[in-house]
Amino acid sequence: MLEGKRILLIIAGGIAAYKSLDLIRRFRERGASVRAILTKAGAEFVTPLAVAALASEKAYTELFSLLDESAMGHIRLSRECDAIVVAPATADLLAKMAAGLADDLASTVLLAANKPILVAPGMNVEMWNNAATRRNVERLAADGVRFIGPAAGDLACGEVGIGRMAEVAAIIDAAQTLLATPTAGASLKGRTALVTAGPTREPIDPVRYVSNYSSGKQGFAIAVALAARGAETTLIVGPTDVAPPAGIRRVEVETAADMLAACQAALPVDIAVFSAAVADWRVARRNELKLKKDGDAPTLALIENPDILATIAKHPQTRPTLVVGFAAETGHVVARARDKLTRKGCDWIVANDVTGGAVFGGDRNRVHLLAGETTEAWPELSKDEVAARLVERIASHFAGRLAAE
């Protein structure tokens, strides 16, 4: 899919710039040509010489270079490509892009661009979480700029959190998707979405409950990715220790019954993603008083909780246009997930293998996407990357619908 495509790669000043050298090689391996621009700070991290050697073409750095401007002006740079990839994108460059500033070659080319743009941010976690960066990312996403990552993990600055530039393979994948669905799929602006996340907690008595290990991380990442694309997103979240993302409308619930009611109240929506690990059973008779150890050990009678996903997917009036479920399986993952897809009436299922318990609470995930008849095995990815891919697919799906309408 990248064969013959011309990528204009903009390398800004972040430590992840070293990965951009590998990115050039991988793009070229797939038959794409790469022309690169380095910002002034980018050139402090990797040299124009190294970039030029790998790209087999001059690396551009100066806006006011007489020589470059006559041979290859900034307008031509932005015209003679099929897509622009910014990797790494710093908080500073994102701010410039969002504000429409053009005071160096990279920002001028981006402002003059008439091609799809993919951005792979890489920065410190607090810079990424800063309200200014959040605003800039939201604005750019609403303008149709696509994002891949950043991922969570150890950062070069020694801190831990979201901020690592996405892996090279993920950027290549995202560029491929961008080229396949260039502009229309970019934005989910004007769409509404609901996402369920985390566990539910089913009380036994005033001090005890039945629950599970879900952290909510996967659902949080999906809600963030949907909101970053411009979808008006409601996150319905059960009790979890992980702080839910800031800046997203959220409804906090405790039990499965509360979660179902909150979902119903959020309808109608275009997109519904059910990533919550809903407790399958609740205690049949909740004790108003604390159970005491003054007799035989109690036997807990359990009754089945309502299936939130199935209820919403089969809603006669307000079924969301796209219903995405999750399937947590231990063995026969794809077959069981396909059965679940049919049984619960959803359109897509993200199936993961939870054998060994590493997925619950962890940061990585290996999933299959079952979309209608098709099944895709995705490589092991961070939960943020799974979210980015899924939301990319959701955006393309709606872009396809728009084109068909």
Interface ranges with ligand CTP (CB under 6 A): 196, 256, 274, 276, 278, 280, 305, 307-309, 325-328, 340
Nearest approach, Cβ of 325 to ligand CTP (angstroms)?
A: 4
The single residue of 81, 157, 263, 346 carrying the catalytic annotation is 157
Nearest approach, Cβ of 159 to ligand CTP (angstroms)?
A: 32
Whether residue 23 contacts residue 9, with contact meaning beta carbons closer than 8 Å, is answered with yes
**Closest to ligand CTP by CB, 27 or 326:** 326
Nearest approach, Cβ of 326 to ligand CTP (angstroms)?
A: 4
Nearest approach, Cβ of 375 to ligand CTP (angstroms)?
A: 16
Nearest approach, Cβ of 309 to ligand CTP (angstroms)?
A: 3
Nearest approach, Cβ of 366 to ligand CTP (angstroms)?
A: 15
Q: Are strands 374-377 and 33-38 parallel, antiparallel or unpaired?
A: unpaired
* Token pair for 103: 């005071």
Residue type (1 letter), 306: P
**Closest to ligand CTP by CB, 45 or 348:** 348
**Closest to ligand CTP by CB, 172 or 226:** 226
* Cα 162 to Cα 155: distance, rounded to the nearest angstrom: 8
Q: Write the burial class of residue 285 (CB in 10 Å: 0-12 exposed, 13-18 middle, 19+ buried).
A: exposed
Nearest approach, Cβ of 344 to ligand CTP (angstroms)?
A: 6
Active site residue 81: no
What is the 3 state secondary structure string of the chain? Answer: CCCCCEEEEEECCCCCHHHHHHHHHHHHHCCCEEEEEECCCHHHHCCHHHHHHHHCCCEECCCCCHHHHHHCCHHHHHHCCCEEEEEEECHHHHHHHHHCCCCCHHHHHHHHCCCCEEEEECCCHHHHHCHHHHHHHHHHHHCCCEECCCEEEECCCCCEEEEECCCHHHHHHHHHHHHHCCCHHHCCCCCEEEEEECECCEEEECCEEECCCCCCHHHHHHHHHHHHCCCEEEEEECCCCCCCCCCCEEEECCCHHHHHHHHHHHCCCCEEEECCECCCEEECCCCCCCCCCCCCCCCCCEEECCCHHHHHHCCCCCCCCEEEEEEEECCCHHHHHHHHHHHHCCCEEEEEECHHHCCCCCCEECEEEEECCEEEECCCEEHHHHHHHHHHHHHHHHHHHHHHC
**Closest to ligand CTP by CB, 291 or 310:** 310
**Closest to ligand CTP by CB, 32 or 235:** 235
**Closest to ligand CTP by CB, 307 or 392:** 307
**Closest to ligand CTP by CB, 128 or 209:** 209
Whether residue 381 contacts residue 389, with contact meaning beta carbons closer than 8 Å, is answered with yes
* Cα 119 to Cα 138: distance, rounded to the nearest angstrom: 13
* Cα 120 to Cα 88: distance, rounded to the nearest angstrom: 6
Nearest approach, Cβ of 274 to ligand CTP (angstroms)?
A: 4
**Closest to ligand CTP by CB, 24 or 256:** 256
Active site residues: 157
